[in-house]
Amino acid sequence: MGRLFGTDGVRGVANADLTAELALGLSVAAAHVLAEAGTFEGHRPTAVVGRDPRASGEFLEAAVVAGLASAGVDVLRVGVLPTPAVAHLTGVLGADLGVMLSASHNAMPDNGIKFFARGGHKLADDLEDKIEGVYEEHRTGAPWERPTGAGVGRVRDYDEGFETYVSHLISVLPNRLDGLKIVLDEAHGAAARVSPEAFTRAGAQVVTIGAEPDGLNINDGCGSTHLGLLRAAVVEHGADLGIAHDGDADRCLAVDAAGNEVDGDQILAVLSLAMREAGTLRGDTVVATVMSNLGFKLAMEREGLNLVQTAVGDRYVLESMKENGFALGGEQSGHVIVLDHATTGDGTLTGLMLAARIAATGKSLADLAGVMERLPQILVNVKDVDKSRVDTSGELAAAVTEAERELGSTGRVLLRPSGTEPLVRVMVEAADIEQARAVAQRLADVVKSALG
């Protein structure tokens, strides 16, 4: 069996790959592993469970809650809230475990399970491996030890979670947003209530789109993976900027007043200068991944800031930040982590802080984002290939070497298997867009023939 946990929890097509039985079993396994690790020692354990609005989240939530309660864990069910809200509540409520049911930016039929440790941080890889091992051991025969009587977990709804999280967001803003008109695209997802409430309380004039989730329309032609509606709405309403979240609102992308995209690299660049000015950018360092645009690296060098690059995945950005005490990190995709105020990427917080910088400086988003110039970058997703053989194919290695020779110092090539989907990503940067496109397509063809 392949590893269940990817770079961001367990994901798959709900009720096909990710079944109620799997959700229940993993939840029981997580409870046992954390108990063995001493997490529950000396007290009755508690878990926070939340979800995005996907229809499948309803039965998966029921399975997770049943699994935890059957293992003796009390459950606080917070309902539909963003992933970072579940992480925050896990921390502030002193819970031993957090569980979020979401497939983030994936299409509606998918769903996922993400576990948070005490404090609201993502589980370490070794704990995920143990959970998977314990789950597999019991799935194939060994019976669980089950509490009875008063030992079973109790379940209650925790409706105060919404207010607790929104109040937190407002409390950490450096300044208000009065005078700004902002369009918010909520992707019909988990932030459909939270984000408009937070921006409105912060003083912005808010226009919302994609804020009517019905369980089936999450990420459907809207949100951070489909910016067309947001671009049009910003221009139509004469807004200062637009903010787009994904289904679970751990991402934030933006568009400026003219409808031009402002990606995660540019947002990081803007926030890094704001935080340096405020004295909160520890070590004058930003953490990003190897997927960051070369223009971001050049901008950080020009501004005298240090850049640490990690493997792709916000969990690896977060690990580097925690190990070294850095305050800001993120990904081009819009996962931005402000570690003083959040334990994971928080799209609503990121959008609020970006808007706060605009309000504080009086500059447009286009002017602020102009601190870096994005070099042309082509990303091709090659589907239906054996992604496990990316690093072992001699034919592929030779093709990459040839491409790097052709691009020289003005570009770069990156091939990597997706951590959440069955595909290989081919990324090529070059000073010339046509050259980048040609090299990327050539490499994609080699990936298909070598790994197909």
* Residues annotated within a binding site: 104, 246, 248, 250
CA distance 349 to 399: 42
* Catalytic-labelled residue, pool 104, 292, 333, 393: 104
Cβ neighbours around 137 below 10 Å, total: 11
Give φ, ψ of 114 to 5 degrees: -125, 130
Q: Could you report how far apart the first and last alpha carbons of the chain are, in Å?
A: 20
Q: Helix, strand, or coil here: 134?
A: helix
b/e burial code for range 193-217 (CB count within 10 A of at least 16 → b): bbbbbbbbbbbbbbbbbbbebeeeb
Tell me the binding residues for Mg(2+). Answer: 104, 246, 248, 250
* Look-up of token digits 């960051």: 292
b/e burial code for range 152-185 (CB count within 10 A of at least 16 → b): ebebeebeebbebbbebbeeebeebbeebbbbbb
CA distance 449 to 452: 5
Beta bridge partners of 51: 80, 101
Distances (CA, A) of 52 to 82, 175, 227, 348, 422: 7, 29, 20, 15, 23
The number of helix segments (H) and strand segments (E) in the chain equals 14, 19
CA distance 353 to 268: 11
Query: Using an 8 Å Cβ cutoff, are 245 and 84 in contact?
Result: no
CA distance 248 to 9: 13
449 part of the active site? no
Query: Using an 8 Å Cβ cutoff, are 213 and 53 in contact?
Result: yes
Give φ, ψ of 294 to 5 degrees: -60, -30
List, by residue number, the catalytic residues.
Answer: 104
